[in-house]
Amino acid sequence: DSGVTQTPKHLITATGQRVTLRCSPRSGDLSVYWYQQSLDQGLQFLIQYYNGEERAKGNILERFSAQQFPDLHSELNLSSLELGDSALYFCASSPGTGLYEQYFGPGTRLTVT
Amino acid sequence: GQSLEQPSEVTAVEGAIVQINCTYQTSGFYGLSWYQQHDGGAPTFLSYNALDGLEETGRFSSFLSRSDSYGYLLLQELQMKDSASYFCAVRDRDDKIIFGKGTRLHILP
C-alpha cells in the first residue's frame, strides 16, 4: 500500500459524458501527478501540481483539466469523453517536485462506451 | 522529438542476472528513474540516478551514463516474482516526465 488513494476504482460511462477522478496523496506529500496508461502503452504524463499550483504539463488534452485543493487532494476532470479515453488513470505523489520516488495510487480504470 | 527507448521484452532464467537498457533523447535531463509494474498493479519505484555511476539497492542496481544518454537496470538472483514490466523515466527541462514504453520481463523456471 503506497498511501495514495484513488476513487473510484472503476468507472463506466458513455461518450460525450464528463467524469471526475479523485486522488488523495500520501500524508506530507506536496506534489500530485496524473498519468494515463492505455492498453499496451506506457505511462503518459498529464499534469503535476505542487502545493496547489500547476507545476508541469504534459500531453494533457484540452478536454481534460485538473486541480489541487488546499487539503492537497487532487481531481482530474475529463469531459466530452471519447472511446479513446478508455484507460487506466494513475495518480502519484511525492514530497517535492523532482522525479525521485513517486508513489502511485491503485488507479482508476475508465471505460467509455 | 523526445523519446526513451527500451526493449519491449526480455526473457531470463530464474536465479540469473538480467540487464534492461534505456536510452533517452530529451531536452534537458534531471535524472533517470526506474519503476516496476506487475500486471493489473500500479507502478512502484525502484531506483533513481541523477549522477553517473551505479546505484545498488538489494538485488536491483541501476546505472547511468549522462554522456551516452544511457542507463540500465540490473536485476540479480532473479525470482519468479520479478516477472513484470519495467519502465525508465526522465524529467526534461520543462519538468515534463517522460516514461519509456516499458520492458516486459519473462522469467523461466
Q: Which of A99, A102, A109 is the best residue to mutate to test the B interface, defined by the most B CB atoms within 10 Å of its own CB?
A: A99
Shortest CA gap B87–chain A (Å): 8
- Tell me: the pLDDT tens digits for B48-101? 999 999 999 899 999 999 999 999 999 999 999 999 999 999 988 888 899 999
Distance CA B84, CA B90 (A): 20
- Tell me: the pLDDT tens digits for A25-82? 999 999 999 999 997 678 999 999 999 999 999 989 999 999 999 999 999 999 999 9
Shortest CA gap A56–chain B (Å): 6
Nearest CA in chain B to A55: B95
Task: For B48-80, give the secondary structure using H, E and C.
Answer: EECCCEEEEECCEEEEEECCCCEEEEEECCCCH
A72 contacts A29 by C-beta, under 8 angstroms = yes
